[in-house]
């Protein structure tokens, strides 16, 4: 069966520090991969999605970037974090027909 792993679960980082969140998927090949952000008590905002290695689509302009160095690995990065980058970050995968499956999320607090 397919599984998705996302880490770390929680992260506290100072303003101006770099960020790297990693997400990996097992049990499937060539998945679509997604990064979402969720502010407290709010909905999910699509940040990036990828349909293949090295293919990244950005949905909103921001201080973040994404990379897909391997088929089942998706990385969310920042060179310098802002206070406004705080939130709950969720990685998800789909088989391309719509239904997405989520990881457990990373709670990022920028201080």
Partner 1 sequence: GESVGLHLPTLSVQEGDNSIINCAYSNSASDYFIWYKQESGKGPQFIIDIRSNMDKRQGQRVTVLLNKTVKHLSLQIAATQPGDSAVYFCAENWDTDKLIFGTGTRLQVFP
Of positions 3, 17, 42, 109, contacts partner 1 by CB under 8 A: 42
Q: Are 7 and 104 in contact (CB under 8 A)?
A: no
Question: Which range binds partner 1 by CB under 8 A, 13-21, 66-74, 75-83, 99-107?
Answer: 99-107
CA distances from 9 to 35, 55, 60, 94, 105 (A): 15, 26, 24, 21, 6
If binding is defined by CB under 8 A, does position 48 make contact with partner 1? Answer: no
Question: Which range binds partner 1 by CB under 8 A, 13-21, 46-54, 66-74, 76-84?
Answer: 46-54
If binding is defined by CB under 8 A, does position 54 make contact with partner 1? Answer: no
Of positions 90, 93, 108, 110, contacts partner 1 by CB under 8 A: 90
CA distances from 35 to 38, 109 (A): 10, 17
What the block records as the tokens of 77 is 């990065």
Residue 62 CB, nearest approach to partner 1 (Å): 16
Of positions 92, 93, 108, 110, contacts partner 1 by CB under 8 A: 92
CA distances from 43 to 9, 13, 88 (A): 19, 23, 10
């Amino acid at each position: 069966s397919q599984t998705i792993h996302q880490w770390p679960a929680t992260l506290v980082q100072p303003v101006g520090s770099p960020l790297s969140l990693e997400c990996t998927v097992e049990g499937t090949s060539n998945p679509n991969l997604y990064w979402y952000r969720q502010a407290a008590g709010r909905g999910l905002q699509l940040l990036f999605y990828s349909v293949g290695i090295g293919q990244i689509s950005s949905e909103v302009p921001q201080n973040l970037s994404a990379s897909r160095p391997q088929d089942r690995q998706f990385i969310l990065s920042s060179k310098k974090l802002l206070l406004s980058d705080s939130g709950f970050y969720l990685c998800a995968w789909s088989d391309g027909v719509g239904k997405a499956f989520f990881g457990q999320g990373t709670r990022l607090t920028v201080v």
